[in-house]
Structure 1
């Protein structure tokens, strides 16, 4: 059986545990190994042992002007995973904060000009996505959840844009054949995403005074498409 590792980048333990459960359900696997990268560095043995990686979100931002040694180490460890996937050795699926790490590693630029609040939105797939094993079946569009402050200015050098929308031009791309990065969150159900809001009520992803209205919009989301991407990712790993 293929071994997929969920890499946690969230300091909040409750949010991390819930995200792990969301990824396990989204991937459709009975077991999902976990590495809490905030509290444990990535070892060479762990990097080599697993057949695939999924990387969760984080309140960290690559564009942060001041970074703690912890954040610097976390970003360096994520780059090691991305570099391994870029060579084709082990597939990896980076989400949210992770797309910033991968974009910088590939020589791309990041911006704060295309933030998306905590919400449900529609993204459209590109012509290049038609032949992609993950995104092709989701064409021409899919509904997803977003909550981010930074994003890629443009698809980084050597990568293939897979999904976009007007508010955030770079929603997903692939680098090589086995490295995927999405700005959106593919793993949560509407209830999962609503629950996550409680951990980040005051982090600037939405108006805290409008919590109930935002939560209601999230819970009303229909046909959210991220789970299909993760299931197909798990199939490629297997």
Structure 2
């Protein structure tokens, strides 16, 4: 057992690291171990950490031929759910949580979302361990065309946008998925493909400027969420965590 609380982070792309979320966890006393699966680093077969974070990437949750590490990552998600290990899934990671727990994920679903986006916090979040007390609307950076189209049975729907309803949800007591990117700052936007954005009706510099304007509110909210997740991980490490919702077991990976 590690001497300090620790979280395993699965990274799916070169520019897709844990960013400020990882920094906030470290500030809160949680060690962060990153597995860069995209470059051949082995994804562990057993989840022996106090928490799990699965980051975003340009894949569907079952794109095993394009990303052969995905089956191992799905296994970690299943283990987190079965063991009530704190988990946080971002974009692809959130979609993977939804799929493993019995929800639906669809490629090219609806209108794409890019850049800082107003995310509405739903009333169900009022007693959620991570999302309680956030402002009614919080800006978050989005970068996706695929989306969750059906939540898992028993999931708690926490946040939404007009273009993509399922922006945040919880499965069981300690597993969260989000469609947006709380870990990134506006700088990341300038790494995106400008031509692809233009084809979808977006201007990269306009997206960057809007995200810079929204950054104070965005950072404050997601920093609070990161601190709360760190607290749950620390409780898990000490063996003092108590479930705050009914557990939901994985329900397979049939995306439909």
Kindly indicate which of the two structures has a greater share of residues assigned to helix. 1
Identify which range, 122-131 or 169-178, moves more after superposition.
122-131
Asked if the contact 1:9–1:74 (Cα under 8 Å) also holds between the matched residues in 2, the reply is no
Deviation at 1:139, TM superposition (A): 4.5
Partner of 1:59: 58
Equivalence map 1:108-127=2 (5 Å): 108-111=103-106, 112-127=108-123
Question: Per the alignment, in what secondary structure is the counterpart of residue 99 of structure 2?
Answer: helix
Q: 2:231 aligns with which of 218, 232, 235?
A: 235
Question: Per the alignment, in what secondary structure is the counterpart of residue 224 of structure 2?
Answer: helix
Partner of 2:11: 8
Answer yes or no: is 1:207 the counterpart of 2:205: no
Question: Per the alignment, in what secondary structure is the counterpart of residue 163 of structure 2?
Answer: coil
Question: Per the alignment, in what secondary structure is the counterpart of residue 233 of structure 1?
Answer: helix
Q: 2:182 aligns with which of 186, 189, 199?
A: 186
Question: Per the alignment, in what secondary structure is the counterpart of residue 203 of structure 2?
Answer: helix
Asked if the contact 2:45–2:72 (Cα under 8 Å) also holds between the matched residues in 1, the reply is no
Asked if the contact 1:26–1:187 (Cα under 8 Å) also holds between the matched residues in 2, the reply is no
Question: Per the alignment, in what secondary structure is the counterpart of residue 41 of structure 1?
Answer: coil
Deviation at 1:25, TM superposition (A): 2.0
What is the distance in 2 between the residues matched to 1:105 and 1:5? 18
Question: Per the alignment, in what secondary structure is the counterpart of residue 22 of structure 2?
Answer: helix
- Per-residue CA deviations over 1:127-149 (Å, capped at 9, x if unaligned) read 22111110012143322111101
Q: 1:128 aligns with which of 121, 124, 127?
A: 124
**Alignment: residue pair count:** 222
What is the distance in 1 between the residues matched to 2:83 and 2:132? 20
Answer yes or no: is 1:216 the counterpart of 2:209: yes
> Which 4+ runs in 1 deviate beyond 6 A?
none
What is the distance in 1 between the residues matched to 2:232 and 2:204? 38
Question: Per the alignment, in what secondary structure is the counterpart of residue 138 of structure 1?
Answer: coil
Asked if the contact 2:56–2:91 (Cα under 8 Å) also holds between the matched residues in 1, the reply is yes
Asked if the contact 1:115–1:151 (Cα under 8 Å) also holds between the matched residues in 2, the reply is no
TM-score, normalised with respect to structure 2:
0.77
What is the distance in 2 between the residues matched to 1:141 and 1:106? 27
Q: Which sections of structure 2, spanning at least 5 residues, go unmatched? A: 235-256
What is the distance in 2 between the residues matched to 1:20 and 1:233? 14
What is the distance in 1 between the residues matched to 2:138 and 2:26? 19
User: What is the root-mean-square deviation in Å for CA atoms of aligned residues?
Assistant: 2.3
What is the distance in 2 between the residues matched to 1:62 and 1:201? 25
Answer yes or no: is 1:33 the counterpart of 2:33: yes
Identify which range, 31-40 or 142-151, moves more after superposition.
31-40
Deviation at 1:169, TM superposition (A): 0.6
Q: Which sections of structure 1, spanning at least 5 residues, go unmatched? A: none
Asked if the contact 1:5–1:34 (Cα under 8 Å) also holds between the matched residues in 2, the reply is yes
TM-score, normalised with respect to structure 1:
0.83
